[in-house]
Amino acid sequence: QVQLKESGPGLVQPSETLSLTCTVSGFSLTSYSVSWVRQPSGKGPEWMGRMWYDGDTAYNSALKSRLSISRDTSKNQVFLKMNSLQTDDTGTYYCTRNWSPWFDYWGQGVMVTVSS
């Protein structure tokens, strides 16, 4: 069945770089796109960016200068790197499968706290 699982550090120092990995199973990264979505505690989700099935990327303009999304299709993994983290980057980070433009499967999420 379709599964996505995020992994990465739970605590990041201010101004440092966040690196997260999304490992997928049950579908191919060359057939479906994968997005990263984050959610501050008690707030609505925010779309961060997308790795298209063809290897292209798209980013939220608000984050574009700090964000990079890449993949390794042989390992069924999608990566997120975001630099210059601040306290308002604290939240739960999800990877989601894109079925057309819709987010049809979500990972369990990884809580990231930005604090010294």
Partner 1 sequence: DIQMTQSPASLSASLEEIVTITCQASQDIGNWLAWYQQKPGKSPQLLIYGATSLADGVPSRFSGSRSGTQYSLKISRLQVEDIGIYYCQQASSAPFTFGSGTKLEIK
What is the C-alpha end-to-end distance of the chain, expressed in Å?
Answer: 39
Contacts with partner 1: how many residues (CB under 8 A)? 20
Binding status of residue 93 toward partner 1 by CB under 8 A? no
Shortest distance, position 47 Cβ to partner 1, whole Å: 4
Closer by beta carbon to partner 1, 63 or else 76: 63
Backbone angles phi, psi at 87, to 5 degrees: -60, -30
Binding status of residue 53 toward partner 1 by CB under 8 A? no
Binding status of residue 109 toward partner 1 by CB under 8 A? yes
d(CA 79, CA 83): 13
Binding status of residue 47 toward partner 1 by CB under 8 A? yes
d(CA 10, CA 68): 19
Backbone angles phi, psi at 88, to 5 degrees: -80, 5
The window from 9-17, 25-33, 54-62, 75-83 that contacts partner 1 (CB under 8 A) reads: 54-62
Hey, how many other C-beta atoms are within 10 angstroms of the C-beta on 27? 18
Give me the residues that bind partner 1 (CB under 8 A), please.
35, 43-47, 58, 60-62, 94, 100-104, 106-109
